[in-house]
Chain A
Amino acid sequence: MAWTAPMTAVAGAVFFSADYNTYVRDNMFELGVAKATVPCSIIAGAGPNAVEQRTPTWAATTAGSTTTSTSYTDLDAGPGPSLTVQSGSVIAIWIFCNQYNTNGTAAWMSFAISGDSSISADDTWAIQFQGTDGDRNGAGFVFDGLTKGSNTITAKYRVSTAGTGYFSQRRIAVWPF
């Protein structure tokens, strides 16, 4: 079914069952309340006269882990945290962690998007801390131009040039639109 611009009634004209089914029943099935199934979701536009349910979600990995890689990769303890969401072309993503580098150069946390979209982790959307004492910070990024569908956001990590990067309290929050 799809939304159809509602008919204009004319005095004296018969209101047919087909009119009801097209302009009332089928249009009602296209309303946000008809699409609502998952608590805490929002109703977002999905194109002209179309809405879909989008569900914000988040994940955390509190345990610490390390990497010595100077390009973005998974930590030694394994990938993540990671989230898969149904999204339109726009997603808001927040990342957070406690991070430091044993030799005082920077430690970086970014994220990659895979699935129907493909975006590599990059310093352009990263948080970075240069120091040997862990500090806790976060940042938010909004991506547009994504491919609508199932998209997976996975945290990735690196160090600047040397040393061992340590990362704990790693968190991702995703709000798909």
Chain B
Amino acid sequence: MAWSSPMTAVAGSVWTAAQWNTFIRDNLNECETSKALTTSGYSVVTSLHRLSERVPQVVNDAAEVVTDQTSYSDPETLAAGSPVVPGPSITAFTGQKALVAIYGAPRTSGGTAAWISVEVSGATDIPADDTHAIQNHVTDPDSWRSGATFGLDLTEGLNTFTMKYRVSTSGTGHFTSRRMAVIPF
């Protein structure tokens, strides 16, 4: 089905079942209310006279993680054996755009910068890089928190957003209070 520009009725003419089905039934099925499935979802335009539902998502992970990698990677936890724990991550159905907000308290023991970026996988493939990163030089625990919101151009479909971490040149990066929000369009 698709939206059709509503007909204009003329006095004395018969209103046919086909006209009802095309201009009333089918058009109502294209309205935002008909597309609504999820609490806190919202309608976005996907093409001319076509709407789809999008759902914003957030994720938080307060646990401290570390890395000494100078390229973006998954972090290690402070648990015994230093297991690698990716994320946090969000998987969302998006159109060609999304706003992605990342936040955290990055610091390094070596005094060089600690970076948090975001990788996109799934329908879109965007590696984590400094272009979409927050970065701090501080060494004191919990002395600095930072965040940023980026607009990303995507391929429509199911996209997974995963926070990634690195240090500039040396030292150990520590990351706490990690948060991410995705608002798909």
Chain B residues, CB < 8 A from A37? 45, 48-49
- Range of interface residues on chain B? 35 or more
Closest B residue, CB atoms, query A60 = B131
Q: Does A77 contact B (CB under 8 A)?
A: no
Give CA–CA (A38, B147) in the complex, Å: 29
Q: B1-48: which residues lie under 8 A (CB-CB) from chain A? A: 3, 6-13, 15, 23-24, 27, 30-32, 42-48
Chain B residues, CB < 8 A from A169? 130-131
Chain A residues, CB < 8 A from B44? 40-42
Chain A residues, CB < 8 A from B3? 33-34
The majority secondary structure among interface residues of chain B is mixed
The majority secondary structure among interface residues of chain A is mixed
Contact of B31 with A21 in the complex, beta carbons under 8 Å: no
Chain B residues, CB < 8 A from A38? 45
Q: Does A143 contact B (CB under 8 A)?
A: no
- Bitwise, B110-122 to A at CB < 8 A (1) or not (0) is 0001010000000
Contact of A33 with B135 in the complex, beta carbons under 8 Å: no
Q: Does A163 contact B (CB under 8 A)?
A: no
* Interface hub of A41, A62, A98 (most chain B Cβ within 10 A): A41
Give CA–CA (A65, B106) in the complex, Å: 26
Q: Could you tell me how many residues of chain A have their Cβ less than 8 Å away from some Cβ of chain B?
A: 43
Contact of A62 with B45 in the complex, beta carbons under 8 Å: no
Contact of B30 with A33 in the complex, beta carbons under 8 Å: yes
Give CA–CA (A80, B179) in the complex, Å: 29
Starting from the known contacts A17-B11, A94-B149, A139-B148, 7 additional A-B residue pairs (CB-CB under 8 Å) come to A24-B23, A25-B6, A40-B95, A43-B32, A43-B45, A133-B113, A136-B148
Sampled A-B contacts (19; CB under 8 Å): A17-B12, A18-B9, A20-B9, A25-B6, A32-B32, A32-B51, A34-B49, A36-B45, A37-B49, A39-B46, A40-B45, A43-B32, A53-B45, A62-B131, A94-B149, A133-B137, A135-B135, A138-B147, A138-B150
